[in-house]
Amino acid sequence: MLEIILSLMFAFALSHSNIQNANEIRESNNTIPIERKIVQTVETENEKEAAKVQPKSIVKTEGKWEIYSVSAYTNGYESTQKHKGEKGYGIQANGKRTVEGSSIACPKSMEFGTGVKIKELDNTYVCSDRGSAITEGKLDIYIEDLDRALDFGRQNLHVQIIKKEVD
């Protein structure tokens, strides 16, 4: 009787082991394609979302060179009638902080974000501020230091307006 029980146990162990090995092989064969499919689906969904968010193309339209009267301003009271620490000090009309080499006050006819290339300064600024004295044909670049802003004064410079348009 012991021999029969041992034989049955041995047979059961072998068949159980074979079933387990077969399942492991089947799972390993199925796992890779499933993982690839999941990754491919995620990548495809991400690409679809990115296509919805990003514009098809951005075209820069560069205008002709024109002469503008360009002056300089600071964050100080002499330019903004605001003192350091006062609400709105150093904040442009677009709501962002002033940045030397980038910030420029433009007439209302120019949208915020418009590029303003100044030939003599070899720089392109971004229209981000307004000023009561800034009318058509006038621009005001931000310079942090008052002495340098005063030294800049008012100059007639070659300006090219760069508009970004979405197709």
Q: Are residues 64 and 110 in the same domain?
A: yes
Q: Looking at 10, 39, 54, which one is the last position of a domain?
A: 54
Residue closest to 80 by CA, chosen among 152, 137, 129, 136: 129
Residue 64 has pLDDT above 80, yes or no: yes
Q: What is the DSSP string of 95-146?
A: SSB--TTTEEE--TTSPTT-EEEEGGGTEEEEEEE--TT--TTEEEEE-SSH
Per-residue pLDDT, 59: 59
155-166 and 66-73 beta bridge pairing: antiparallel
Q: What is the mean pLDDT of residues 52-76?
A: 78
Whichever domain contains 74, its CATH number is 2.40.40.10
Please report where in the chains the tokens 């340098």 appear, as a residue. Answer: 148
φ/ψ of residue 141, rounded to 5: -85, 150
Q: Are residues 132 and 67 in the same domain?
A: yes
Q: Are residues 90 and 120 in the same domain?
A: yes
Q: Which residue has the higher pLDDT, 31 or 77?
A: 77
What tokens appear for 12 in the block?
């059961």
DSSP one-letter code for 66: E
Structure confidence at residue 166 as a pLDDT band (50, 70, 90): low
Count of domains for the chain: 2
Q: Are residues 11 and 82 in the same domain?
A: no
The per-residue pLDDT for range 141-154, each reduced to its tens digit, is 999 999 999 999 99
Q: Are residues 99 and 126 in the same domain?
A: yes
Structure confidence at residue 164 as a pLDDT band (50, 70, 90): confident
Residue 73, Ramachandran bin (φ over 0: left; ψ between -120 and 50: alpha; else beta): beta
The per-residue pLDDT for range 85-143, each reduced to its tens digit, is 999 999 999 999 999 999 999 999 999 999 999 999 999 999 999 999 999 999 999 99
